[in-house]
Amino acid sequence: MIAEALLYAATVPMTLKAHRRFIRYSVNLWSRAGRCSRQWAEHEERSRNAVRSAIAELRQRRTAVVLGSGLLRDVPIEELARTFDTVVLVDLVHLASVRLWLRLKRYSNVRLIERDLSGYDELAAGKQPEPLAFLRSVPYLDFVVSANLLSQIGRGAQRRYEEEQAGAMPADTVAQLIEAHRSALEAAPCKTCLVTDVSYAVIDRQGRVHDETDLLHGVALSSVRANWQWPVAPLGEESNDYQIVHQVVAAY
Protein backbone atom coordinates (compact mmCIF):
# COMPACT_ATOMS: atom_id res chain seq x y z
CA MET A 1 0.00 0.00 0.00
CA ILE A 2 2.86 2.38 0.74
CA ALA A 3 4.38 1.91 -2.72
CA GLU A 4 1.00 2.52 -4.37
CA ALA A 5 0.43 5.67 -2.30
CA LEU A 6 3.87 7.03 -3.16
CA LEU A 7 3.39 6.31 -6.87
CA TYR A 8 -0.01 7.98 -6.82
CA ALA A 9 1.37 11.05 -5.08
CA ALA A 10 4.30 11.31 -7.49
CA THR A 11 2.03 11.03 -10.53
CA VAL A 12 -0.53 13.65 -9.51
CA PRO A 13 1.57 16.78 -10.25
CA MET A 14 2.66 15.31 -13.60
CA THR A 15 -0.93 14.72 -14.75
CA LEU A 16 -3.47 17.13 -16.19
CA LYS A 17 -6.21 17.97 -13.69
CA ALA A 18 -8.89 16.54 -15.96
CA HIS A 19 -7.15 13.17 -15.94
CA ARG A 20 -6.12 12.88 -12.30
CA ARG A 21 -9.22 10.89 -11.36
CA PHE A 22 -7.90 8.07 -13.55
CA ILE A 23 -4.55 7.77 -11.77
CA ARG A 24 -5.86 5.22 -9.28
CA TYR A 25 -6.82 2.85 -12.11
CA SER A 26 -3.28 3.03 -13.48
CA VAL A 27 -1.77 2.53 -10.03
CA ASN A 28 -4.05 -0.46 -9.42
CA LEU A 29 -2.95 -1.95 -12.75
CA TRP A 30 0.71 -1.37 -11.83
CA SER A 31 0.16 -3.11 -8.50
CA ARG A 32 -1.62 -6.13 -10.01
CA ALA A 33 0.96 -6.43 -12.79
CA GLY A 34 3.64 -6.74 -10.11
CA ARG A 35 1.74 -9.36 -8.15
CA CYS A 36 0.83 -11.36 -11.26
CA SER A 37 4.04 -10.87 -13.23
CA ARG A 38 4.65 -14.61 -13.64
CA GLN A 39 1.11 -15.35 -14.83
CA TRP A 40 1.04 -12.30 -17.14
CA ALA A 41 4.46 -12.92 -18.69
CA GLU A 42 3.21 -14.99 -21.64
CA HIS A 43 0.48 -12.49 -22.49
CA GLU A 44 2.91 -9.59 -22.38
CA GLU A 45 5.43 -11.40 -24.58
CA ARG A 46 2.75 -12.40 -27.10
CA SER A 47 1.57 -8.79 -27.20
CA ARG A 48 5.10 -7.57 -27.85
CA ASN A 49 5.61 -10.25 -30.50
CA ALA A 50 2.45 -9.18 -32.33
CA VAL A 51 3.79 -5.63 -32.51
CA ARG A 52 7.19 -6.90 -33.67
CA SER A 53 5.55 -8.96 -36.42
CA ALA A 54 3.59 -5.93 -37.62
CA ILE A 55 6.72 -3.76 -37.61
CA ALA A 56 8.59 -6.35 -39.68
CA GLU A 57 6.20 -5.66 -42.56
CA LEU A 58 7.04 -1.96 -42.70
CA ARG A 59 9.13 -0.33 -45.41
CA GLN A 60 9.54 2.98 -43.59
CA ARG A 61 9.96 3.59 -39.88
CA ARG A 62 9.64 7.30 -39.27
CA THR A 63 6.92 7.89 -36.65
CA ALA A 64 5.15 5.30 -34.51
CA VAL A 65 2.20 6.03 -32.21
CA VAL A 66 1.27 3.75 -29.31
CA LEU A 67 -2.34 4.14 -28.17
CA GLY A 68 -2.79 3.01 -24.58
CA SER A 69 0.91 2.79 -23.80
CA GLY A 70 0.17 2.20 -20.11
CA LEU A 71 2.94 0.45 -18.19
CA LEU A 72 4.87 -0.37 -21.40
CA ARG A 73 5.01 -4.03 -20.30
CA ASP A 74 3.12 -5.23 -23.39
CA VAL A 75 4.89 -2.94 -25.88
CA PRO A 76 8.40 -3.56 -27.30
CA ILE A 77 9.44 -0.02 -26.49
CA GLU A 78 13.15 -0.75 -26.91
CA GLU A 79 12.68 -1.87 -30.52
CA LEU A 80 10.32 0.99 -31.26
CA ALA A 81 12.69 3.61 -29.86
CA ARG A 82 15.65 2.06 -31.65
CA THR A 83 14.10 1.63 -35.10
CA PHE A 84 11.74 4.62 -35.43
CA ASP A 85 12.74 8.27 -35.70
CA THR A 86 9.95 9.28 -33.31
CA VAL A 87 7.75 7.28 -30.94
CA VAL A 88 4.63 8.91 -29.47
CA LEU A 89 3.06 7.30 -26.39
CA VAL A 90 -0.58 8.27 -25.86
CA ASP A 91 -2.62 7.53 -22.74
CA LEU A 92 -4.83 9.19 -20.15
CA VAL A 93 -2.14 8.78 -17.51
CA HIS A 94 1.61 8.25 -17.67
CA LEU A 95 2.68 7.03 -14.25
CA ALA A 96 5.70 8.64 -12.61
CA SER A 97 7.43 5.23 -12.66
CA VAL A 98 7.06 5.02 -16.43
CA ARG A 99 8.30 8.57 -16.91
CA LEU A 100 11.33 7.88 -14.72
CA TRP A 101 12.15 4.63 -16.53
CA LEU A 102 12.02 6.37 -19.92
CA ARG A 103 14.25 9.15 -18.60
CA LEU A 104 16.80 6.66 -17.30
CA LYS A 105 16.79 4.91 -20.67
CA ARG A 106 17.46 8.28 -22.36
CA TYR A 107 15.02 7.70 -25.17
CA SER A 108 15.31 11.18 -26.63
CA ASN A 109 12.96 10.32 -29.51
CA VAL A 110 10.04 9.24 -27.29
CA ARG A 111 7.21 11.73 -26.69
CA LEU A 112 4.39 11.46 -24.14
CA ILE A 113 0.87 12.75 -24.78
CA GLU A 114 -2.04 12.71 -22.34
CA ARG A 115 -5.27 12.18 -24.21
CA ASP A 116 -8.74 10.71 -23.74
CA LEU A 117 -9.01 8.19 -26.56
CA SER A 118 -12.58 7.09 -25.83
CA GLY A 119 -14.61 9.64 -27.83
CA TYR A 120 -17.21 9.70 -25.03
CA ASP A 121 -17.34 13.50 -24.74
CA GLU A 122 -17.89 13.89 -28.49
CA LEU A 123 -20.78 11.43 -28.41
CA ALA A 124 -22.24 13.17 -25.35
CA ALA A 125 -22.16 16.45 -27.31
CA GLY A 126 -24.16 14.86 -30.12
CA LYS A 127 -21.21 14.58 -32.47
CA GLN A 128 -19.88 11.64 -34.39
CA PRO A 129 -17.04 10.31 -32.24
CA GLU A 130 -13.65 10.56 -33.94
CA PRO A 131 -11.27 9.72 -31.08
CA LEU A 132 -8.32 9.09 -33.39
CA ALA A 133 -8.78 12.09 -35.67
CA PHE A 134 -5.59 13.61 -34.23
CA LEU A 135 -3.57 10.94 -36.05
CA ARG A 136 -4.21 12.83 -39.29
CA SER A 137 -1.97 15.63 -38.01
CA VAL A 138 0.94 13.39 -36.99
CA PRO A 139 3.76 13.95 -39.51
CA TYR A 140 5.43 11.00 -41.24
CA LEU A 141 3.16 8.49 -39.53
CA ASP A 142 4.11 4.94 -40.50
CA PHE A 143 2.75 2.80 -37.66
CA VAL A 144 0.01 2.83 -35.01
CA VAL A 145 -0.50 0.22 -32.33
CA SER A 146 -3.52 0.00 -30.05
CA ALA A 147 -2.11 -1.86 -27.06
CA ASN A 148 -4.68 -3.68 -24.91
CA LEU A 149 -6.79 -0.52 -24.93
CA LEU A 150 -10.02 -1.27 -26.77
CA SER A 151 -11.77 -3.21 -24.01
CA GLN A 152 -10.67 -0.56 -21.50
CA ILE A 153 -12.42 2.08 -23.61
CA GLY A 154 -15.53 -0.07 -23.35
CA ARG A 155 -15.25 -0.58 -19.59
CA GLY A 156 -14.66 3.13 -18.98
CA ALA A 157 -17.56 4.11 -21.24
CA GLN A 158 -19.82 1.62 -19.46
CA ARG A 159 -18.99 3.15 -16.07
CA ARG A 160 -19.71 6.66 -17.31
CA TYR A 161 -22.88 5.55 -19.09
CA GLU A 162 -24.26 3.98 -15.90
CA GLU A 163 -23.71 7.26 -14.05
CA GLU A 164 -25.71 9.26 -16.60
CA GLN A 165 -29.38 10.12 -16.27
CA ALA A 166 -31.65 7.75 -18.17
CA GLY A 167 -31.81 8.71 -21.85
CA ALA A 168 -28.88 11.12 -21.68
CA MET A 169 -26.71 8.88 -23.89
CA PRO A 170 -27.56 6.45 -26.71
CA ALA A 171 -28.35 2.93 -25.55
CA ASP A 172 -25.51 1.59 -27.72
CA THR A 173 -22.94 4.09 -26.43
CA VAL A 174 -20.34 1.47 -25.53
CA ALA A 175 -20.62 -0.39 -28.84
CA GLN A 176 -20.46 2.91 -30.76
CA LEU A 177 -17.22 3.94 -29.09
CA ILE A 178 -15.61 0.54 -29.56
CA GLU A 179 -16.59 0.58 -33.23
CA ALA A 180 -15.28 4.15 -33.63
CA HIS A 181 -11.84 3.02 -32.43
CA ARG A 182 -11.85 -0.11 -34.56
CA SER A 183 -12.96 1.65 -37.74
CA ALA A 184 -10.52 4.54 -37.22
CA LEU A 185 -7.63 2.09 -37.01
CA GLU A 186 -8.85 0.30 -40.12
CA ALA A 187 -9.02 3.61 -42.00
CA ALA A 188 -5.61 4.85 -40.85
CA PRO A 189 -3.24 5.66 -43.76
CA CYS A 190 -0.47 3.51 -42.30
CA LYS A 191 0.27 0.09 -40.89
CA THR A 192 -1.68 -0.67 -37.71
CA CYS A 193 -1.65 -3.34 -35.03
CA LEU A 194 -4.59 -3.94 -32.71
CA VAL A 195 -4.02 -6.04 -29.59
CA THR A 196 -7.08 -6.39 -27.39
CA ASP A 197 -8.88 -8.73 -25.08
CA VAL A 198 -12.25 -9.61 -26.58
CA SER A 199 -13.96 -11.60 -23.82
CA TYR A 200 -13.45 -13.08 -20.39
CA ALA A 201 -14.59 -16.13 -18.47
CA VAL A 202 -14.87 -16.85 -14.74
CA ILE A 203 -13.49 -20.36 -14.22
CA ASP A 204 -13.46 -22.38 -11.00
CA ARG A 205 -10.79 -24.76 -9.75
CA GLN A 206 -12.41 -27.67 -11.57
CA GLY A 207 -12.30 -25.81 -14.88
CA ARG A 208 -16.04 -25.10 -14.98
CA VAL A 209 -17.01 -21.81 -16.63
CA HIS A 210 -19.47 -19.82 -14.50
CA ASP A 211 -19.71 -16.62 -16.52
CA GLU A 212 -18.62 -15.33 -19.92
CA THR A 213 -18.71 -11.74 -21.14
CA ASP A 214 -18.16 -10.16 -24.56
CA LEU A 215 -15.87 -7.19 -23.91
CA LEU A 216 -16.38 -5.72 -27.39
CA HIS A 217 -20.19 -5.58 -27.16
CA GLY A 218 -20.78 -7.31 -30.47
CA VAL A 219 -18.17 -5.44 -32.50
CA ALA A 220 -16.36 -7.86 -34.82
CA LEU A 221 -12.68 -7.66 -35.70
CA SER A 222 -11.05 -8.57 -38.99
CA SER A 223 -7.48 -9.55 -39.92
CA VAL A 224 -6.98 -11.45 -36.66
CA ARG A 225 -3.65 -13.25 -36.92
CA ALA A 226 -3.05 -14.48 -33.37
CA ASN A 227 -5.01 -15.28 -30.24
CA TRP A 228 -4.20 -16.42 -26.72
CA GLN A 229 -5.39 -16.44 -23.12
CA TRP A 230 -4.51 -13.92 -20.42
CA PRO A 231 -5.11 -14.90 -16.77
CA VAL A 232 -5.95 -11.38 -15.64
CA ALA A 233 -6.96 -12.58 -12.18
CA PRO A 234 -5.31 -15.95 -11.48
CA LEU A 235 -6.41 -18.12 -8.57
CA GLY A 236 -5.79 -16.27 -5.33
CA GLU A 237 -5.89 -12.78 -6.85
CA GLU A 238 -9.59 -12.10 -6.41
CA SER A 239 -10.66 -15.45 -4.99
CA ASN A 240 -9.19 -18.80 -4.02
CA ASP A 241 -12.12 -20.49 -5.75
CA TYR A 242 -11.99 -19.02 -9.25
CA GLN A 243 -9.82 -17.24 -11.82
CA ILE A 244 -10.72 -14.73 -14.53
CA VAL A 245 -9.22 -15.51 -17.93
CA HIS A 246 -9.41 -13.13 -20.88
CA GLN A 247 -9.25 -14.09 -24.54
CA VAL A 248 -6.86 -11.83 -26.46
CA VAL A 249 -6.39 -11.32 -30.20
CA ALA A 250 -3.91 -9.47 -32.38
CA ALA A 251 -4.99 -8.02 -35.72
CA TYR A 252 -2.51 -6.42 -38.12
Residue 212: its H or E element: strand 209-214
Task: Assess if residue 213 is contained within a domain.
Answer: no
Measured on CA atoms in the order 199, 204, 205, 208, is the torsion positive or negative?
A: negative
pTM attached to this predicted model: 0.95
Average pLDDT over residues 195-211: 96
Q: Given this model, what pLDDT does residue 146 score?
A: 98
Beta bridge partners of 89: 66, 112
Task: Give the chain's domain count.
Answer: 1
Task: Assess if residue 33 is contained within a domain.
Answer: yes
CA-to-CA distance for 49 and 250, rounded, in angstroms?
Answer: 10
Q: Tell me the residue range of the domain where 184 lies.
A: 2-194
Is the pLDDT assigned to residue 207 strictly greater than 90? Answer: yes
Is the pLDDT assigned to residue 118 strictly greater than 90? Answer: yes
Is the pLDDT assigned to residue 115 strictly greater than 90? Answer: yes
CB-CB neighbours of 186 under 10 Å? 13
Tens-place pLDDT, residues 126-176: 999 999 999 999 999 999 999 999 999 999 999 999 999 988 999 999 999
Average pLDDT over residues 78-91: 98
Task: Assess if residue 25 is contained within a domain.
Answer: yes
Task: Assess if residue 41 is contained within a domain.
Answer: yes
Task: Assess if residue 77 is contained within a domain.
Answer: yes
Task: Assess if residue 206 is contained within a domain.
Answer: no
Give me the CATH number covering residue 78: 3.40.50
Query: How confident is the prediction for the chain on average, in pLDDT?
Result: 97
Task: Assess if residue 61 is contained within a domain.
Answer: yes
Q: Given this model, what pLDDT does residue 167 score?
A: 87
Is the pLDDT assigned to residue 240 strictly greater than 90? Answer: yes
115 neighbors 149 (Cβ within 8 angstroms) = no
Average pLDDT over residues 213-227: 96
Tens-place pLDDT, residues 21-35: 999 999 999 999 999
Beta bridge partners of 205: none
Task: Assess if residue 199 is contained within a domain.
Answer: no
Is the pLDDT assigned to residue 1 strictly greater than 90? Answer: no
Tens-place pLDDT, residues 24-68: 999 999 999 999 999 999 999 999 999 999 999 999 999 999 999
Average pLDDT over residues 104-121: 97
